[in-house]
Amino acid sequence: MSIAPTVSGGTSPAGAGSTLDENNFAIKFEEFLKLLTIQLQNQDPTAPMDSETFTRQLTQFSAVEQAIRTNSRLDTLIDIGRANQIVAAASYVGQEVELRTDRIYLPAVGDAAIAYSLPRSATEVRLKVLGEDGAILVERSLPTEAGYHEARWDGLNDAGVRLPSGDYRVEIEARDERGQPVAVGLRSLGVVDAVEFDDSGLLLSIGGVLRPIESVAAVRRPAG
- Asked if 37 and 98 sit in the same domain, the reply is no
Q: Is residue 213 part of a domain?
A: yes
- Asked if 79 and 109 sit in the same domain, the reply is no
Instruction: Give this prediction's pTM.
Output: 0.58
Average pLDDT over the chain reads 79
Look at the chain and count its residues.
224
**What pLDDT was estimated at residue 170?**
94
pLDDT in tens, 151-174: 999 999 988 999 999 889 999 999
198 against 145, higher pLDDT:
145
**What pLDDT was estimated at residue 9?**
41
Q: Is residue 7 part of a domain?
A: no
pLDDT in tens, 186-195: 999 989 998 8
| Mean pLDDT of all residues in 10-34 | 56
Domain hosting 69: range is 13-90
| Domain end position, chosen among 90, 118, 149 | 90
- Asked if 108 and 203 sit in the same domain, the reply is yes
Q: What percent of the chain has pLDDT over 90?
A: 35
- Asked if 108 and 198 sit in the same domain, the reply is yes
198 against 17, higher pLDDT:
198
**What pLDDT was estimated at residue 77?**
63
d(CA 186, CA 61): 59
Q: Is residue 53 part of a domain?
A: yes
70 against 117, higher pLDDT:
117
46 against 202, higher pLDDT:
202
| Mean pLDDT of all residues in 124-140 | 93
**What pLDDT was estimated at residue 40?**
66
CA distances from 54 to 15, 33, 59, 220 (A): 19, 11, 9, 67
| Domain end position, chosen among 32, 56, 90 | 90
Residue 42 has pLDDT above 80, yes or no: no
- The three-state (H, E, C) secondary structure of 57-110, written as one string: HHHHHHHHHHHHHHHHHHHHHHHHHHHHHHHHHHHHCCCEEEECCCEEEECCCC
What is the number of structural domains in the chain? 2
Residue 41 has pLDDT above 50, yes or no: yes
pLDDT in tens, 204-217: 988 888 999 889 98
Q: Is residue 114 part of a domain?
A: yes
- Asked if 22 and 129 sit in the same domain, the reply is no
**What pLDDT was estimated at residue 38?**
73
- Asked if 99 and 72 sit in the same domain, the reply is no
d(CA 206, CA 187): 14
Residue 29 has pLDDT above 60, yes or no: yes
- Asked if 86 and 53 sit in the same domain, the reply is yes
| Domain end position, chosen among 65, 90, 115 | 90
- Asked if 41 and 133 sit in the same domain, the reply is no
Q: Identify any residues that bridge with 173 across adjacent strands, giving them in sequence order.
A: 126
pLDDT in tens, 91-113: 889 899 999 999 998 988 889 99
Q: What is the CATH number of the domain that holds 137?
A: 2.60.40.4070
Q: Is residue 208 part of a domain?
A: yes
- Asked if 114 and 213 sit in the same domain, the reply is yes
- Asked if 56 and 68 sit in the same domain, the reply is yes
- Asked if 116 and 57 sit in the same domain, the reply is no
Minimum mean pLDDT range among 13-27, 47-61, 132-146: 13-27
- Asked if 197 and 159 sit in the same domain, the reply is yes
